[in-house]
Amino acid sequence: MGAEIHHLASNQRNPGMVFHPEWVEGIRVNRSAVERRIATLNARRTVKKQWQAAWLLKAITLIDLTTLSGDDTPGRVQRLCAKARQPVRSDLLAALSMENASLTTGAVCVYHEMVPVAVKALIGSGIPVAAVSTGFPAGLSPLETRLAEIRASVTAGATEIDIVISRRYVLTANWKALYDEVALYREACGEAHLKTILATGQLGSMTKVAKASMICMMAGADFIKTSTGMETVNATQPVSLIMLRMIRQYFDKTGYKIGFKPAGGISVSRTALQYLVLVKEELGNEWLQPELLRFGASSLLGDIERQLEHFITGRYSAANRHPMG
């Protein structure tokens, strides 16, 4: 009966749990063991030829195509949405016998101000709009302002909200405060899915990354995300391994599957393939789908398209042949 309940939970949205401080008290990370695991994985696992093309097409479906610039305009967001709808040139798709695959990116991610523009541009596509929120990227605006920002983006049509946690709670090990904050964010999201950005490069240690991951999931996060993309250090494979292990531990405890989103610095196909292999080995094929895995990226798609053209023609094309819109 217990296994049956566990299976049923795995197909449902994470509701969050009551605060369990004991879930984080015993967490310890052996940094050298983590680094050895990543080194041996990258040495053992490579993807070649037609299998690489197939994996890169899979990676496209997992991209949160992102623009988070101070000079964003409606026109830029509309072009990005057009690219999300048709991420690969039609001639390349035809050469790969994928012209009828209805290939799209996983989502489009923008600031709140651009949510209505993206929602309108993506009508009928099924592509979700994600909004960064809660005073992104620092997360230091007043709490009520952060909560109001979430609600406003949901009202405007965003179905995914990428929030930033208060790093000070992690650095001071105030786990109850972090739990309470994320639980409020989850409540403000309503039906929209909550992606919690840990800003791992600012958390001080791998053990703190692991504990923050567990707290965010306990508080109701649907995804845990490495970075804003604007820290000095963003997504790394060792940190990602730790977060994936925490996702597995949370699943073992509760039966709920939590998504993972590495972001920042994932700009070339080779790196994306390494992350796909890492997720496959740590969590299994079930996690290789947009509901449970996303890449936060802006330039990755262009490089994937170049690699696909190289697979077809044997030649690398100029980057300007694969514009974002």
Distance CA 113, CA 74 (A): 9
Does the annotation mark 162 as catalytic? yes
What are 261's strand-pairing partners? 225
Render pLDDT for 241-282 as a digit per residue (tens, 0 to 9).
999 999 999 999 999 999 999 999 999 999 999 999 999 999
Q: Is 204 helix (H, G, I), strand (E, B) or coil?
A: coil
Residue 132, H or E segment? strand 129-132
Does residue 324 carry a pLDDT above 70? no
Question: Is the peptide bond between 323 and the residue preceding it cis, with omega within 30 degrees of 0?
Answer: no
Does the annotation mark 225 as catalytic? yes
> In this structure, are residues 126 and 85 in contact, taking their beta carbons and an 8 Å threshold?
no
List the catalytic residue out of 64, 83, 162, 195: 162
Distance CA 293, CA 22 (A): 28
Count other Cβ atoms within 10 Å, centred on residue 9: 16
User: What are the residue boundaries of the structural domains of the chain, listed by start?
Assistant: 2-13+23-321
DSSP 140-203: -S-HHHHHHHHHHHHHHT-SEEEEE--HHHHHTT-HHHHHHHHHHHHHHHTTSEEEEE--GGGS
In CATH, what is the architecture of 2-13+23-321?
Alpha-Beta Barrel (3.20)
Render pLDDT for 296-322 as a digit per residue (tens, 0 to 9).
998 999 999 999 999 999 887 777 767
Does residue 230 carry a pLDDT above 90? yes
Does the annotation mark 261 as catalytic? yes
Render pLDDT for 151-195 as a digit per residue (tens, 0 to 9).
999 999 999 999 999 999 999 999 999 999 999 999 999 999 999
List the catalytic residue out of 195, 208, 211, 225: 225
pLDDT of residue 8: 53
What are 288's strand-pairing partners? none
What mean pLDDT comes out for the span 230-244?
Answer: 95
Give the neighbor-by-neighbor strand order of the sheet with 223-225.
Answer: 259-261, 223-225, 193-197, 160-164, 129-132, 107-110, 63-66, 295-297
pLDDT of residue 318: 75
